[in-house]
Structure 1
Amino acid sequence: MKRVFFKILMTSLFLLPAVAMAQNEAVIPPSNRSTATLEKNLLFYATTHYTVSQQGSVSFSLPNFFDGNYQPQYSGTLDPNDPYIVTIEGLPNVHVQAGAWIGWTTRYYNSTKFKIEVYNVYDYGGMAGYPAPNTWVTVANETNYGGGSYIASVANVSVSKIRFTFYNGTGPNNNIGISELFFIHPEATVAFDNLMVQYDRNGNVGIGTPNSHGDKLAVNGTVHAKQVNVDMVNWADYVFKPDYHLPTLSEVKTYIDKNSHLPEIPSAQEVEKNGLNLGEMNRLLLKKVEELMLYLIEQNKKLDLQQQQITKQQTQQKEIDELRKQVKTLLKKKS
Structure 2
Amino acid sequence: MGRAPTTKAVRKGRRALLPALLTAAIVVPLAGAARPGIPAPPPAAVAPLAPSALPTAYAANRANATEAARMAAAHGDEHRAAADRALAAPSRHLLSFDGRGTGLATEVLGDLTHADHVAVLVPGSDTSLDTYGRFHRAAAALYEDLTHRAPTGTRVAVVAWLGYRTPGTVSTTVTTPARADHAAPHLRALVRQLRALAPARARVSVLCHSYGSVVCGRAAAGLDADDIALVGSPGTGAGTVVGLHTHARVWAARGSDDWVAHVPHVRVDLLFTTVGFGTDPVSRVFGARVFDAADADHSGYFAQGSASLANLARITLGETSEVTRV
Same fold? TM cut 0.5: no
Q: Which structure shows the bigger proportion of residues in strand conformation?
A: 1
TM-score (norm 2): 0.19
Q: Which structure shows the bigger proportion of residues in helix conformation?
A: 2
